[in-house]
């Protein structure tokens, strides 16, 4: 695993590419799968467990926000960082100006994940859901962990580098 210290030494383009190729790629694979699993759980158990309705709704909202956020990064700011790596004369100021919105997006996704966790009772499942949903909750935990690292790399390292450029 690469350390924060090594990411501090990496170029903005290298860090942006790592975020896309590692964290965005993971989300593009994992989010549709978890949404499908939550839909199946909802179909099977909603009547006895109405909290699944809320968890499903919150997950879909989080998924939509996160997918749009990643697309904006990849086609906007991150592409500017890659272009600047080839030509230092290219200004990244439009991306710097947009960092505040990225921070708001991150806070929103973080809050939605907390609400999903709360709706699912901190992933402590009732006995009748354990066998069916345990792996889905494990996937949700991994999404949370990956997003924490992803957001840390952007907020604390990449955005700081952009502001200093």
What are the pLDDT digits (tens) for 54-106?
A: 999 999 999 999 999 999 999 998 888 888 888 888 888 888 888 889 999 99
Q: Which residue has the higher pLDDT, 52 or 81?
A: 52
Q: How many domains does the chain have?
A: 1
Q: pTM of this prediction?
A: 0.92
Query: With bands split at pLDDT 50, 70 and 90, how would you rate the model's confidence at 163?
Result: confident
| Cα Dmax for the chain | 61
pLDDT band at 108; cut points 50, 70, 90: very high
The residue segments making up the domain with residue 128 are 4-164
């Amino acid at each position: 695993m690469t350390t924060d210290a090594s990411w501090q030494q990496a170029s903005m383009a290298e860090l942006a590419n790592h975020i896309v190729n590692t964290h965005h790629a993971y989300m593009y694979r994992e989010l549709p799968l978890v949404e499908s699993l939550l839909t199946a759980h909802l179909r099977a158990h909603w009547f006895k467990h109405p909290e699944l309705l809320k968890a499903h709704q919150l997950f879909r909202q989080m998924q939509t926000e996160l997918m749009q956020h990643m697309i904006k990064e990849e086609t906007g700011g991150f592409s500017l960082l890659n272009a600047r790596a080839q030509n230092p004369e290219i200004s990244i100021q439009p991306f710097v100006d947009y960092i505040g919105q990225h921070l708001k997006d991150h806070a929103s996704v973080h809050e939605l994940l907390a609400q999903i966790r709360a709706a699912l009772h901190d992933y402590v499942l009732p006995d009748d859901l354990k066998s069916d949903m345990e792996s889905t909750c494990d996937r949700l935990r991994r999404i949370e962990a990956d997003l924490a690292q992803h957001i840390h790399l952007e907020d604390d390292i990449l955005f700081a580098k952009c502001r200093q450029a």
